Amino acid sequence: MVNLKKLQDVPKTYVKEVLGELSRLEKLKKIPFFTGIHFKDAERELIRKIENYKKIGKDAERVWKIIELSRNEKRPQCRDYINGIFKNFVNLSGDRLGGEDRSIIAGLGKIDGKTVAVIGHNKGKDIKERMEYNFGMSTPYGYRKSQRIMELANRFGFPIITFVDTPGAYPAIEAEDNGQAAAIAKSISVMLEVKVPVISILIGEGGSGGALALAVGNEVYMLENSTYSVISPEGCAAILWKDPAGTKLAARELRLTSRDLMKLGVIDKVIPEPLGGAQNAPERMVKIVRKYIIDALQKYEDISGEELKSARACKFESMGFFSKG
Amino acid sequence: MTEDMGKFKCKSCSKEMENEIFVLNMWVCPYCNYHHSINAGDRLRITVDENSFVEIGKNIDSIDFLNFYDTRAYSTRLKEAKLKTGMDEAIMVGEAKIEGIDVAIGIMNFGFMGGSMGSVVGEKIKILSDCSIEKKIPLVVFCASGGARMQEGAISLMQMAKTVSCINRVKENRIPYISVITNPTSGGVSASFATLADIIIAEPNSLFCFAGPRVIKQTIKKNPPSDFGSAERNLINGQIDMIVNRSDLKKILTSILELFR
């Protein structure tokens, strides 16, 4: 027998549907014409549906925990990785076209005795910093600064390391007037063009085009509890579910966790985090990431610029699932 | 065209007119010049030489590889979109002639799931680019899209990198690339192949932006200005080369293509 207690763990957005079916069933039972007919099959079907929704709900909660971890303020940020990994880091500013955006850090530094360019989103640690860095949401100034540093690295043969951690590009009128779309497109284009190794690491939130603008790498790694998505679960729920209650379900459907994306071939490696998440042992996390960067640089050491470029283009051009009927 | 076409009401000025007049005017309001959205088939008819279009990649079809289910399954949404639009996908690509000049042409269809870019749009842009490179013919893409297709998760985001890579190759091969922005073009499409063209033409009153007005409104908690993201504002801000009326589009395209011959 279906009772309402069973509905306790069903995600809110599905409750209405289940209740609807339940009441339809109850109504049918009351019609005299149907007395004596068993509704067991229909009931079993409904129970199976409820169980399935419960499972989805539970899985959505699991994914949501990862999202919360990826957004945790205590997680090591781009700056921590720069301080902990690169020697002699020189911070560079400005896009030379009219602006500077501190939501992106860019500069040159040394790792393992080699000079590299380092570019990453900068979220900030406390509310004051977060305001200053615009919560890691960049404007065209930031993307164009990043392009400038990548082109500089390309000219001198410096490998490029990027740290991705952004909710997305800054949605603002000024940013749009200044060509946000063109700036992101150009960043992607430059990342595909350079003839040096590009290593991208998603360290927290990988939000949409704003993340991709720094993530077109020969190697793309994700920290275990980071996320990478075409749209935020909140945004997705607003559009497809038309209800904020769908947020956690959207998070699950979007397959935005490192393991999902590894399976889909969007990323190349998952970097394990210390137990419970990177925020529990930031210094250890930085050390782990350092090791992955050094290994990746070694892998690409003897590969020619042309090869690096065509391998990158090939990798991204082969992405996609479709049928060829 | 049937005999009794009925009346059409302009979305912008609300004036009514005979459907036939509206269609003859290329779906542009004769009173206020508002350019209404048109589907890919109609766009093709008013743009390329008669019977010159040969579609390529027609066999490429979307699949619901994530089993994405929101309030309905992605596979259901795909079927509905096909029935509604009579098209296979959010873009149609092929070879055609414009006033006798060979072009590789792509036309997006906003009616098909908001013109969203998933794996198929990415792949069709790829085969279109390959075609233009192989045959050394200019690339023309009519854009209309709400952005990436959420139902394909991060794979749809990757289509931005994929299409940019294709456009990079087109440019390396010194093939001219013209994009025509039609209402609306936003999100992942505007931040990839749409903005990387050598020449960007926009239709009047077309919205062209990355974050749409609704997203902006959520951030700033008030309505953005009414001309936000419009072709007219984009022209002033240096984001596009020109605004061209639909009735002049073929002529302007031809004269640009002539320059690159």
Question: Smallest CA–CA separation between A87 and chain B, in Å?
Answer: 32
Structure tokens at A63: 């994914």
Angle at A209 between CA A272 and CA A199, to 5 degrees: 45
Indicate if the pLDDT at residue B54 is higher than 60: yes
Nearest residue on chain B to A315, alpha-carbon basis: B162
Q: Is A263 helix (H, G, I), strand (E, B) or coil?
A: helix
Residues of A in contact with B77 (CB under 8 A): none
CATH of domain A78-225+273-317: 3.90.226.10
B165 touches chain A (CB under 8 A): yes
The average pLDDT across A253-279 equals: 96
Indicate if the pLDDT at residue A210 is higher than 80: yes
pLDDT > 90 fraction of chain A, expressed in percent and rounded: 79
User: Cβ contact (<8 Å) for B150 and A249?
Assistant: no
- Picking from A56-65, A204-213, B242-251, which range would have the lowest pLDDT averaged per residue? A56-65
Which pLDDT score is estimated for B126? 98
Which pLDDT score is estimated for B219? 81
Which pLDDT score is estimated for B176? 98
The average pLDDT across B56-63 equals: 95
| Cα-based torsion angle of the residue sequence B124, B129, B135, B140 in order, rounded to the nearest 10 degrees | 90
Which pLDDT score is estimated for A267? 97
DSSP secondary structure code for residue B224 in this structure: P
Q: Which of A188, A216, A241, A324 should we substitute to test contact with B (largest number of B Cβ atoms within 10 Å)?
A: A188
DSSP secondary structure code for residue B203 in this structure: -
Indicate if the pLDDT at residue B1 is higher than 50: no
Indicate if the pLDDT at residue A149 is higher than 70: yes
Indicate if the pLDDT at residue A9 is higher than 80: no
Tell me the sheet residues that pair with A87: A110
- Picking from A50-54, A211-215, B187-191, which range would have the lowest pLDDT averaged per residue? A50-54
Which has more pLDDT, A245 or A221? A221
User: Cβ contact (<8 Å) for A264 and B63?
Assistant: no
User: Cβ contact (<8 Å) for A176 and B216?
Assistant: yes
Domain ranges of chain A: 8-71, 78-225+273-317
Which pLDDT score is estimated for B3? 43
Angle between helices B153-172 and B119-135 (to 10 degrees): 10
Residues of B in contact with A176 (CB under 8 A): 209-211, 216, 228-229
Which pLDDT score is estimated for B6? 81
Q: Which of B164, B230, B233 should we substitute to test contact with A (largest number of A Cβ atoms within 10 Å)?
A: B164
Indicate if the pLDDT at residue B211 is higher than 80: yes
Please give the Cα distance from A258 to A225 (Å, whole number).
7
Indicate if the pLDDT at residue B4 is higher than 70: no
Indicate if the pLDDT at residue B91 is higher than 90: yes
Per residue, the 3-state secondary structure of B132-164, as one string, reads HHHHCCCEEEEEEECCECHHHHHHHHHHHHHHH
- Picking from A274-278, B8-12, B46-50, which range would have the lowest pLDDT averaged per residue? B8-12
| Start-to-end Cα distance in chain B | 37
Which has more pLDDT, A35 or B118? B118
Q: Is A62 helix (H, G, I), strand (E, B) or coil?
A: helix
Please give the Cα distance from B206 to B51 (Å, whole number).
28
Confidence of residue A323 (pLDDT cuts 50, 70, 90): very high
The average pLDDT across A178-184 equals: 97
DSSP secondary structure code for residue B88 in this structure: S
DSSP H or E stretch at residue A129 = helix A127-132
Q: In chain B, which among 202-221 make CB contacts under 8 A with chain A?
A: 208-211, 215-216, 218-220
The average pLDDT across A172-181 equals: 96
Question: Smallest CA–CA separation between A275 and chain B, in Å?
Answer: 27
Please give the Cα distance from B35 to B39 (Å, whole number).
13
The average pLDDT across A259-279 equals: 96
Let me know if A30 is exposed, middle or buried by CB neighbors in 10 A (0-12, 13-18, 19+). Answer: exposed
**Owner of token pair 């309402």:** A4
Structure tokens at A313: 């283009």
The average pLDDT across B6-14 equals: 90
Which pLDDT score is estimated for B5? 59
Domains, chain B: 1-36 (no CATH), 37-260 (3.90.226.10)
Model ipTM over 0.85: yes
Structure tokens at A196: 């040096």
Please give the Cα distance from A243 to A309 (Å, whole number).
43
- Average pLDDT score over chain A: 93
Structure tokens at A316: 């991204």
The average pLDDT across B228-234 equals: 96
Please give the Cα distance from A11 to A45 (Å, whole number).
18
Structure tokens at A141: 């100034």
Confidence of residue B210 (pLDDT cuts 50, 70, 90): very high
Which pLDDT score is estimated for B2? 42
Give the residue from A269, A168, A205, A258 showing the smallest Cα distance to A70: A205
DSSP codes, A275-323: TT-GGG-HHHHHHHHHHHHHHHHHHHTT--HHHHHHHHHHHHHT---EE
Question: Smallest CA–CA separation between B225 and chain A, in Å?
Answer: 9
Query: Tens of pLDDT along A77-110?
Result: 999 999 999 999 999 999 999 999 999 999 999 9
Question: Smallest CA–CA separation between A192 and chain B, in Å?
Answer: 7
DSSP H or E stretch at residue B43 = helix B40-47
Would the CA dihedral through A283, A289, A292, A298 be positive or negative? Answer: negative
User: Cβ contact (<8 Å) for A266 and B154?
Assistant: yes
Please give the Cα distance from A55 to A48 (Å, whole number).
11
Other beta carbons within 10 angstroms of residue A93's beta carbon come to: 13
B192 touches chain A (CB under 8 A): yes
Give the residue from A317, A282, A269, A298 showing the smallest Cα distance to A73: A282
Please give the Cα distance from A92 to A120 (Å, whole number).
12
Let me know if A256 is exposed, middle or buried by CB neighbors in 10 A (0-12, 13-18, 19+). Answer: buried
B168 touches chain A (CB under 8 A): yes
Q: Is A35 helix (H, G, I), strand (E, B) or coil?
A: coil
Query: Tens of pLDDT along A97-143?
Result: 999 999 999 999 999 999 999 999 999 988 999 999 999 999 999 99
Nearest residue on chain A to B129, alpha-carbon basis: A317
Q: What is the CA radius of gyration of chain B?
A: 18
Per residue, the 3-state secondary structure of B104-125, as one string, reads EEEEECCCCHHHCECHHHHHHH
Nearest residue on chain A to B71, alpha-carbon basis: A241
- Average pLDDT score over chain B: 94
The average pLDDT across A62-91 equals: 96
Q: Read off the pTM.
A: 0.93
Confidence of residue A43 (pLDDT cuts 50, 70, 90): confident
**Owner of token pair 């392009």:** A147
